[in-house]
Structure 1
Amino acid sequence: MKINIKISKYITTIDYDYPNFHLTMYYFLCEVCGGELKLNAHNATKWISLDEVDKLNWVPADVLVIEKLKKI
């Protein structure tokens, strides 16, 4: 994304089996320190608050992370 970040806290590791592949993702709580947001592999991005997460349609692996974030 071409931004500078500071990692604040490890959140979780998610292992999820989709029909065609296995996904392992490591999640951290981070602070943006500089740079300009530029997408490399995605079509769009949006900054949201935790109060807004339930308004979006998440893929199954992300749902697991959202539940962890709500408990922080």
Structure 2
Amino acid sequence: MKRKFPWIAIMCLIAIVSCKPVKEYQKMYLNDADMELSMRKGQKSENNFELYREGSAGANGGKSGGGCGCN
């Protein structure tokens, strides 16, 4: 128990010290498009339409065709 307490105290101090508010000029990096986890709804439909028109893959991962609209 005596050996665990210093480690727990050190970890708590590190956790408390590492939290700090984000400055206004730093927020632009947090709102970067590379930080997104998934596509937005508008991007999904646009990507779906582009894949369908291109013909490289069917819409939503369906069958692929020649691009002329033939099955």
Question: TM-score higher than 0.5 here?
Answer: no
Greater fraction of residues in helix: 2
Greater fraction of residues in strand: 1
Q: TM-score, normalised by structure 1?
A: 0.19
Structure with higher Rg: it is 2
